[in-house]
């Protein structure tokens, strides 16, 4: 099986909000996310369950750092053997807030327009 390529969404000025978010976390939190990403990269999305979950009714998946941290990184599978990390946030409620989903969906739409239409 080929390795999964992991892309970071970058906005029009070249900022990578997910990378900035991850770098703002504690080193322990960063290690947890990095470990899950390396699992996905090496073995595929499905092997990272229960640390990843498909968000019903959307093209999005979430990386779940559970426990006292409750960190989420939203991503989508965009091309064969690749994902794009779209948005990261600290989850404070049971349900993923619509605002967070909309941010990720808007970034996905922008990325698709930029990379998949020509």
- Per-residue pLDDT of the chain in tens (118 residues, 90 and over written 9): 589 999 999 988 899 999 999 999 999 999 999 999 999 999 988 888 889 999 989 999 999 987 777 899 999 998 888 999 999 999 888 888 899 999 999 999 999 888 776 5
- Quick check: is 47 in a domain? yes
Q: How far apart are CA 87 and CA 101, in angstroms?
A: 9
- Quick check: is 71 in a domain? yes
Q: What 3-state DSSP class applies to 77?
A: strand
- Quick check: is 116 in a domain? no
- Quick check: is 53 in a domain? yes
Number of H helices, E strands in the chain: 3, 5
- Quick check: is 118 in a domain? no
- Quick check: is 46 in a domain? yes
pTM summary value: 0.92
- Quick check: is 62 in a domain? yes
- Quick check: is 117 in a domain? no
Q: How far apart are CA 9 and CA 60, in angstroms?
A: 14
Domain count, the chain: 1
Q: What CATH number does residue 35 fall under?
A: 3.30.2310
Q: How far apart are CA 79 and CA 81, in angstroms?
A: 6
Domain that holds residue 24: 5-111
């Amino acid at each position: 099986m080929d390795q999964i390529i992991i892309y970071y969404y970058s906005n029009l000025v070249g900022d990578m909000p997910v990378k900035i978010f991850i770098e703002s976390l504690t080193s322990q939190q960063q290690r947890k996310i990095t470990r899950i990403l390396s699992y996905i990269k090496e073995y595929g999305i499905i092997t990272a369950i229960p640390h990843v979950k498909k968000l019903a009714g959307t093209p999005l998946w979430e990386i779940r750092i559970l426990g006292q941290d409750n960190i989420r990184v939203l991503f989508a599978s965009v091309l064969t053997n690749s994902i794009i990390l779209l948005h990261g946030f600290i989850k404070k409620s049971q349900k993923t807030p619509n605002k967070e989903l909309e941010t990720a969906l808007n970034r996905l739409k922008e990325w698709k327009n930029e990379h998949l239409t020509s």
